[in-house]
Amino acid sequence: MQLLFKQRFFSWFDSYDIYDEVGNVVFSVQGRFAWGHKLEISDHMGNLLGTVREEVLTLLPRFNMYDGAGNHIGTIKKKLTFFKPHFELEYQGWSVDGDILGWNYYVSDSAGTHIMYAQKKVLNWTDTYVIDVPDPANAFLSLMIVLAIDAAKDNNGN
């Protein structure tokens, strides 16, 4: 499954439509007023599926992921590194690795199986990512991870 993550051009808060490979809106993401980033993810019918919320007053960016009922399901946090951005993911043994510029990410499980690959498209007016997810069951969590990484990079002015 492939998802296209494209930020809306004119929006006060973060706002994204997420499309599948044939151009159908699969998810909508809406930023909400809060201290730090708060991104609510809904399905194409408007049902709340989950939230990515930034913890404030931390040295490095840290985001918690919640399901639609408000249950904490995982955390992603930026680690202090000198040459390559690195994020630590606390969710079922999954790990995140990115390239030297920090625009492309792989997520793997503890056995090394490929969960998803996200690639940022540069030279666009708005943030645009292509997310390849071999198992559609992992699409929602993959989207949450990409949203958290994008918000962390926005905090740094990238």
At 151, list the tokens: 């918000």
Mean pLDDT value across residues 86-108: 83
Place of tokens 């499309």: 19
Mean pLDDT value across residues 109-115: 93
How confident is the model at residue 56, as a pLDDT?
82
Q: Collapsing DSSP states into helix, strand and coil, what is residue 137?
A: helix
- What is the domain partition of the chain in residue ranges? 2-155
CATH class name, domain 2-155: mainly beta
Q: How confident is the model at residue 130 (pLDDT cuts 50, 70, 90)?
A: very high
At 61, list the tokens: 């960016």
φ and ψ of 10, to 5 deg: -105, 100
More confident residue, 100 or 20: 20
More confident residue, 126 or 72: 72
Q: How confident is the model at residue 154 (pLDDT cuts 50, 70, 90)?
A: low
pLDDT > 70: what percent of the chain?
A: 84
Place of tokens 């990238």: 158
How confident is the model at residue 157, as a pLDDT?
46
Instruction: Kindly tell me the burial class for residue 25, based on how many C-beta atoms sit within 10 Å of its own C-beta (0-12, 13-18, 19 or more).
Output: exposed
At 99, list the tokens: 């390239």
| pLDDT per position as a tens digit, 40-52 | 999 989 999 999 9
Mean pLDDT value across residues 96-116: 85
